[in-house]
Amino acid sequence: MTKHATGTFEVQMKAQSQDEQAGGATLARMSLDKQFSGDLDGTGKGEMLSARTPTQGSAGYVAIERVTATLHGRAGSFALQHSGTMTRGEPQLSITVVPDSGSGQLAGLSGALAIRIADGKHFYDFAYTLPEGT
């Protein structure tokens, strides 16, 4: 049965490198540090690669993030895989649990995380499943 975890998170991104091309896409690498609150309570650390185009509002990114947290009271860690594109301001985002990345009481975790940003605050809705008996 699919369960839902909701809450907020804060994120700090630090530029690691940037490669600008005249007339082409600008490539960048950043580190991510997150603090999750709510049903998912803990930290996330990851790396992000992005490409920003000369066209306003068009870009793409991929990221891998390790989350160490409690999820509805169950402690463990898992990895999230991010894939995002923005086409002239229209976003598409997919954030999924890397298969078999769960550890501790989160072993066997699967699911997808949705992000919403409103009034400068970040919110998450995590639809997930855990094996029966865990």
Domain spans, the chain = 3-129
The strand pair at 103-104 and 90-97 is best described as: unpaired
Distance CA 63, CA 49 (A): 6
Q: Which residues have C-beta within 8 Å of that of residue 132, sequence separation ≥ 6?
A: none
Per-residue pLDDT of the chain (134 residues; tens, 9 = 90+): 999 999 999 999 998 988 877 678 899 999 999 999 999 999 999 999 999 999 999 999 999 999 999 999 999 999 999 999 999 999 999 999 999 999 999 999 999 999 999 999 999 999 999 997 65
> Under CATH, which architecture does the 3-129 domain have?
Beta Barrel (2.40)
Distance CA 134, CA 126 (A): 18
pLDDT at 22: 65
Q: CA 68: distance to chain centroid?
A: 13
Distance CA 46, CA 64 (A): 5
Q: CA 66: distance to chain centroid?
A: 9
CB 86 within 8 A of CB 60: yes
